[in-house]
């Protein structure tokens, strides 16, 4: 336990150092923060525009889709803030600067997100939180204690699942440095896809982005239960309680893949 605490202290100092560094480039910081916020808000604008032309998407009304958008985008935004920096591993390998991380007495998977932390990414979470709060209050939810607890639990588990997906897709760089775009199409694709009900997609998209990369658990599965929304896929309601378990499993898988990647890097040196 003492080890974890001192690691957290180190993490905090590394993040603090990065924020102080970035703050020297204030205009660019503010610019990125704003553009991240607007990009994320545009996705919401799409949902609003579509709700004007059709009353529902896949049987879900505006406030239901907005809850989905809020949950997905908040988890995506937090995962983006705390974990997505692992994708810089591709750049570090290409520049040869990844060695520096291997030479320090801290797991690389802690060092990278800490050293590359970018506070400006918090911009994604801003429209997400606002939308989530507004949509939850509009969605005519039958609030029970378990439903109340479900929301924060889903956000935490969802953030961890997104983080794990990021680690796995970033690990591809250990084997194929140029594959960053492919990796991004899963992470960013997943973040976009799950803003809309999973059942509007065809089976192969659902399988890939929903279950193999278990991003259905980030928002759709719990939201079906929370909102008592149309459920053409027949998701059982007990499944809504499983995101924390999925999150744990995802972390185990991500850790294994990342370690295998490090080992491969150590033997090929590329």
Which parts of this chain interact with another protein (CB under 8 A)?
A: 6, 9-10, 13-14, 17, 20-21, 24, 27-28, 31, 35, 38-39, 42-43, 45-46, 49-50, 52-58, 96-97, 99-100, 102-107, 185-186, 189, 192-193, 196-197, 200-202, 205, 263, 266-269
C-alpha of 261 from chain center: 21
Q: Which is nearer to another protein, 110 or 156 (CB)?
A: 110
Question: CB burial class (10 A; 0-12, 13-18, 19+) of residue 153?
Answer: middle
Query: Residue 138, class by beta-carbon neighbours within 10 Å (0-12 exposed, 13-18 middle, 19+ buried)?
Result: middle
**CB 107, min distance to another protein, A:** 7
> Minimal distance in Å, beta carbon 156 to another protein?
26
User: 65 vs 247, which CB is nearer to another protein?
Assistant: 65
Could you give the 3-state DSSP secondary structure of residue 268? helix
Check: CB of residue 34 under 8 Å from CB of residue 160. no
CA distances from 50 to 45, 64, 114, 136, 182 (A): 8, 13, 39, 19, 28
Q: How far apart are CA 28 and CA 35, in angstroms?
A: 10
CB-nearer residue toward another protein: 192 or 239: 192
Min dist CB 256 to another protein, Å, is: 17
Of the two residues 105 and 152, which places its CB atom closer to another protein in the complex? 105
Nearer to another protein, 26 or 145 (CB): 26
Q: What are the φ/ψ torsions at residue 86 (nearest 5 degrees)?
A: -60, -20
Smallest gap from Cβ 152 to another protein, in A, equals 28
Distance of closest approach, residue 124 Cβ to another protein, in angstroms: 14
What sign does the dihedral 42-244-236-185 (CA atoms) show?
A: positive
Q: Smallest distance from the beta carbon of 66 to another protein, in angstroms? A: 15
Q: Which is nearer to another protein, 152 or 269 (CB)?
A: 269
Bridge partner residues of 57 (DSSP) = 60
Closer residue to another protein (CB): 69 or 150: 69
CB of 133 to another protein, least distance (A): 24
218-141-58 Cα angle (round to 5): 60
* Residue 117 near residue 34 (C-beta atoms within 8 A): no
In Å, how far are 3, 84, 102, 213 from 260, measured between CA atoms? 24, 19, 14, 18
């Amino acid at each position: 336990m003492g080890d974890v605490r001192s690691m957290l202290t180190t993490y905090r100092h590394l993040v603090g150092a990065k924020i102080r560094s970035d703050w020297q480039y204030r205009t660019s910081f503010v610019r990125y923060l704003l553009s991240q916020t607007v990009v994320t808000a545009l996705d919401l604008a799409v949902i609003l525009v579509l709700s004007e032309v059709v009353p529902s998407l896949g049987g879900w009304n505006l406030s239901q889709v907005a809850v989905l958008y809020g949950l997905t985008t908040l988890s995506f935004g937090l995962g983006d803030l705390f974990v997505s920096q692992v994708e810089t591993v591709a750049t570090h390998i290409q520049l040869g600067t990844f060695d520096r991380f291997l030479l320090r007495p801290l797991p690389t998977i802690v060092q990278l997100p800490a050293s590359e932390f970018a506070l400006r990414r918090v911009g994604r979470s801003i429209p997400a939180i606002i939308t989530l709060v507004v949509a939850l209050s509009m969605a005519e939810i039958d609030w029970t204690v378990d439903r109340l607890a479900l929301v924060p639990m889903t956000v935490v588990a969802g953030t961890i699942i997104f983080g794990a997906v990021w680690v796995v897709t970033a690990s591809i760089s250990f084997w194929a440095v140029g594959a960053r775009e492919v990796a991004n199409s899963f992470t960013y694709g997943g973040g976009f896809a799950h803003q809309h009900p999973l059942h509007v997609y065809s089976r192969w998209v659902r399988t890939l982005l929903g279950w193999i990369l278990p991003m259905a658990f980030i928002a759709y599965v719990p939201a079906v239960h929370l909102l008592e929304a149309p459920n053409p896929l027949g998701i059982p309601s007990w499944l809504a309680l499983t995101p924390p378990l999925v999150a744990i499993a995802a972390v185990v898988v991500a850790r294994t893949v990342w370690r295998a990647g490090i080992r491969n890097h150590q033997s090929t040196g590329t």
